Amino acid sequence: MINGNGSADAGEPIAEALRLLDLFASVGAEAFDITHTNLQQEKRGFRPAQSLAQARQSMPYLVPSAARRQNNLIVRPRAGDGVTLVQLDDLAPDALARIAPAAFLILRTSPRGQQAWVAVTSAPRGFAARLKEGTGADKEASGATRVAGTANFKPAYAPNFPRILIDAAQPGLRVTTQTLDAMGVVAPARPVPAAPPPAVASSGGLRTRKWPSYARCLEGAPLGSGGSPKRTSADFIWCKIALSWGHGIEATAERLLEESAKARENGEAYARKTAEHADYAARQRNALPPGRPARG
């Protein structure tokens, strides 16, 4: 635990932060986006696309600074071609036990919260969503996590903020889709409808050229622990609407970068992934038999 003043001996937390970076690098992470948020989960700093060397050089300064300022220190690892990093957050104990043999990293983010990270080789489009569904993980987990050794600064945890801990690690462990299928942790692929959902037609009979209101999506998004709308949810909802209006995945991802500050900060890969996730969710729902509710 770290007390309300944010104090903690810096040596061990820095070592844990460096260990986290090295674990991500061991499975193919080539760059890291580093974000700082305050106690109210408001963004206070952002360093995009840091190399492993840059990120390691920064940690001896960023870790103690985060403790003093009561800032959350968050990284988003970005893997190279051929590797997909899947964050499985908010796992139930039985689900965590099932996925643990395939996870290169298990993090404890709060007294009762754990997440597993899996590095999947040659994963097809939509596979990450199926893995999340099969394990019961948070479908909207963004692929960013608080840095090991630092505190989880949320008002609900005051005044003794829990430290992020590495519960288990298997450096360099990558798994195939076939291995995960055999473990029974992947939801079955849904039938893809023969045609995409019907688009809303414009007055000229063509697909609409209008875009959804991002402000309204943000207003309707669920609130995060800090009381602010969850922008990841707003981005996902906005993409689902845009796709249902007949816009393609590529166009939707490009437009999301214009509409969403979070998308601009996280880059094209985030926008594309969000649009693909929304497309997969829509097709999964459309493939269900009439009258059967979709999960989640």
User: pLDDT digit string (tens) for 239-294?
Assistant: 999 999 999 999 999 999 889 988 887 778 788 889 988 998 887 766 555 444 44
Q: What is the mean pLDDT of residues 204-231?
A: 77
- Does residue 200 have a pLDDT over 50? no
Q: Which residue has the tokens 């019907």?
A: 198
Q: How far apart are CA 144 and CA 73, in angstroms?
A: 10
* H or E element that contains 40: none
Q: Which residue has the tokens 């499985």?
A: 88
Q: What's phi and psi for 23, nearest 5 deg?
A: -65, -45
DSSP labels for 237-255? HHHHHHHHTT--HHHHHHH
Q: How far apart are CA 107 and CA 114, in angstroms?
A: 6
* Most confident stretch, 9-13, 142-146, 181-185: 181-185
Q: Single out the residue of 137, 134, 98 nearest to residue 114, CA to CA.
A: 137
- Does residue 42 have a pLDDT over 90? no
Is the domain defined by 11-183 classed in CATH 2.40.30.160?
Answer: no
Alpha-carbon distances of 148 from 78, 87, 110, 193, rounded to whole Å: 17, 15, 11, 42
Residue 140's pLDDT is: 76
- Does residue 36 have a pLDDT over 70? yes
Residue 43's pLDDT is: 83
Residue 192's pLDDT is: 57
Q: How far apart are CA 166 and CA 154, in angstroms?
A: 19
Residue ranges of the domains in the chain? 11-183, 191-296
* H or E element that contains 63: helix 52-69
> Using only C-alpha atoms, what is the Rg of the chain?
20
Establish whether the linkage from the previous residue to 111 is cis, with ω within 30° of 0. no
User: pLDDT digit string (tens) for 47-89?
Assistant: 999 999 999 999 999 999 999 999 999 999 999 889 999 999 9
